[in-house]
Structure 1
Amino acid sequence: MTSPLRTAAHRITLSRTGARRLAGAALAAATLASLAPMAANAQDTAASAEARLRKVEAEVRALQRKVFPGGDGRFFEPQIGPGGETTTPTATPPTIASGVPAATAVTDILVRLDALEGQLQRLTARSEEQANALAQMEARVAALETAANAPITPAPVLPASQPAVSTTAATTVPATVTPAPKPAVTTTPTPAPKPAAPTTTPPVAAPSAARLAAVQAIAKPQTADAGDDEYSYGFRLWNAGFYPEARQQLDKFVKAYPNHPRISFGRNLLGRAYLDDNMPKEAAQWFYQNYQANKAGERAPDSLLYLGKSMIALGDNAKACIALAEFGETYPLLATGRLADEYKASVAKVKCK
């Protein structure tokens, strides 16, 4: 039989074990009770963070629509509908040239930059081609101008107070032009007709008081070049229509300054002063002398052309044709440039064989 003492000890042991179990259960309950608020707080924090994240995303999408306006959905689809409700995007994302959807707006920008760079390269290549073509054209024009066989030299630029003799303004001669029609001439050109030697300028009759006053009103230049002053004064008299006085002044210049740079201008203008005063015979003598003295002179071409005009005025068409033909062959650039109108008009007045 079990002793009462052992039975009592066994009961005491069972009671201690139950107490321990009860204490452990109580401790677990207390621990769970303490952890429950923490779990609830964690859930609240996660929900709050999710709400804040959604709010930030909505604000970013609104900012994107502000930066990239337009409702066509090219850059960003509308995310906020009427009344502040979020809508589901239905627009098709932009695609690039290969048909693959663009991941972001940056991809679309890069594609556009590539297209702009390609266009810039094509424009640069075209500009270089045009510059090369222009350089070749200028080289050809320069070669044509160099090959021209005009025996004249460019006329010096006159000061403002000393205009050129020719009444036709000088123009740039085109490099590629069709020469004006030339009168029929023989294979071997005949030298320009030689008129009689120039005669001394006849004395001018006593002018009236009014004419004398008008002539005196024309000022004579006073510069460091006395010869140029004499020529310029003769030009001013001729330009004002005082032909006898101009002839007297220009005859003085030609005799006093035979080696002056303006001598070709002076002799030619002296012939013009006779021709404009209806004295073609005397004019022809000076035109011929100026042309023969220096065929490369500044006004030698003008003198040869006006020699033909003088012969037309004298009714000698044969000599006029000879002079005009020689002008067209010797000075082809002037025949199609500065003196083209006068040359064509003179050729139209005669019938050359």
Structure 2
Amino acid sequence: MPVNISGWAKPRALATVLAVTAIGGVALPSAAYAQDADARLRKIEAEVKALQRKVFPNSDGRFFTPEVNTAQTPPTQTIGTPSTSAISDILSRLDALEGQLRQLTARSEENSNKIAQLEEKLKQVSAAPLSGATTSGPSGFIPVPESSSGNSGSPAPTPAPASSSSVSRSAPSPARVEAVQAITKPSTDDAGDDEYVYGYRLWNEGYYPEAEQQLAKFLKAYPSHWRVSYGRNLLGRAYLDEGKPREAAPYFLQNYQSDKQGVRAPDSLLYLAESMIQMGDTNRACIALAEFGDTYPALATGRLQKQYERNRSSVTCQ
């Protein structure tokens, strides 16, 4: 029966006919069209789920509950026997997909902004200690012996002159000096590695100021050595273990930012979060932890899982 389109008495009927015709090419959806549309929708839904896995790498709820529930699946429907109409089902599923995409886009932009804010604020907070850390010795400065081979790089930095009263308060005891000098400094064909290993031995024995001085010396003399990622991370740890999280944070941040694929970059990001926790800065700690979970999902369930979960249990993140 032909459709009466004369006049303007039935504009809604005409719009409906034209819409159906534009979508399917025919007045009524056929089983073949419905099957093709369903296949295309399933492809789009699979791509949305892939995007969700990128934004929410741990959407199984093991680390946090995602705002978008990727576990939902559309109800199956036998092709050729639609419950109401194929067009209605398609439109409903398209609405759901658009809503999920909007939420994913918003969360991705929010995470990017938070990470940028973290990096900018940490640069401002830590500018002063970072700029002067490698040019002056720590409290209780103890001269570090040179290697016997004489090729250990630049000499150790000299501390600024101090008054007699401050020297008497900060000077190490003879017993401490003797104990530090008893720690053997290696002498191999890799002078840079010798400097780092000696700093590690000082740190491992609990001589944190001496380790800080030695590791700063190593980083200054061998900025391109393969141990640099280890050295910056360990220097931050020495300050953190000494109870100085504000001095430690710049080294952790620098180690992560300079080379995110560095061997100790993931460790530094977790220690950066720990430094923020000790400073009472919950917001930045949560941002650092979120960045770790997003950048290193394998390590979050592997080598660094215990440290990651311990830090997360120490703060309440929104």
What's the offset of the Cα at 1:284?
Answer: 0.5
CA drift of 1:319 comes to 0.3
Question: Partners in 1 of 2:61 and 2:202 — Cα distance?
Answer: 36
Tell me the residue number matched to 1:307.
Answer: 272
Indicate whether 1:187 and 2:69 are aligned. Answer: no
Shift >4 Å, 4+ stretches: 183-186
The verdict on how the C-alpha distance between 1:179 and 1:295 changes in structure 2, with shifts beyond 3 A counting, is: farther
Give the corresponding residue for 2:260.
Answer: 295
Q: Deviations over 1:59-118 (max 9, x none)?
A: xxxxxxxxxxxxxxxxxxxxxxxxxxxxxxxxxxxxxxxxxxxxxxxxxxxxxxxxxxxx
Q: Does 1:208 align with 2:173?
A: yes
The one-letter code matched in structure 2 to 1:246 is A
What do residues 215-270 of structure 1 show as CA deviations (whole Å, max 9, x unaligned)? Answer: 11110000000000000000000000000000000000000000000000000000
Query: Which AA in structure 2 matches 1:211?
Result: R
Say yes or no: does 1:275 pair with 2:251. Answer: no
Q: Which amino acid aligns with 1:288?
A: L
1:317-336 deviation line (CA, Å, top 9, x unaligned) = 00000000000110011111
TM-score by length of 2: 0.53
Q: Percent identity?
A: 58
Does 1:222 pair with 2:104? Answer: no
Residues 34-80 of structure 1: CA distance to partner in whole angstroms, max 9, x if unpaired? Answer: xxxxxxxxxxxxxxxxxxxxxxxxxxxxxxxxxxxxxxxxxxxxxxx
* Alpha-carbon separation, structure 2, partners of 1:287 and 1:203: 18
Which segment is superposed worse, 205-214 or 272-281?
Answer: 205-214
The alpha-carbon deviation at position 310 of structure 1 amounts to: 0.3
| CA distance in structure 1 between the partners assigned to 2:187 and 2:214 by the alignment | 15
What TM-score, normalized to structure 1? 0.48
Aligned to 1:344: 309
Which letter maps to 2:214?
Q
Deviations 1:2-28 (A, max 9, x none): xxxxxxxxxxxxxxxxxxxxxxxxxxx
Please tell me whether the aligned partners of residues 234 and 250 of structure 1 are also in contact (alpha carbons under 8 angstroms): yes
Contact 2:235 2:248 in 1 (8 A): yes
Aligned-pair CA distance for 1:184: 7.3
In 2 relative to 1, CA 207–321 (structure 1 residues): closer, same or farther, beyond 3 Å? same
Tell me what 2:93 maps to: none
Deviation at 1:179, TM superposition (A): 8.0
Seen in structure 2, the aligned counterparts of structure 1 residues 296 and 216 have a Cα distance that, compared at 3 Å, is: same
Is residue 318 of structure 1 aligned with residue 310 of structure 2? no
User: For the structure 1 residues 272 and 184, does the alpha-carbon distance in structure 2 shift closer, same or farther, using more than 3 Å as the test?
Assistant: farther
- 2: distance between equivalents of 1:179 and 1:329? 14
Root-mean-square deviation (Å) = 2.5
Conserved? CA contact 2:138–2:210, under 8 Å: no
Offset of residue 213 of structure 1: 1.0
Pair 180,246 (structure 1): closer, same or farther in 2 beyond 3 Å:
farther
Larger C-alpha radius of gyration, 1 or 2?
A: 1
Residues 184 and 198 in structure 2, CA contact (< 8 A), matched pair in contact too: yes
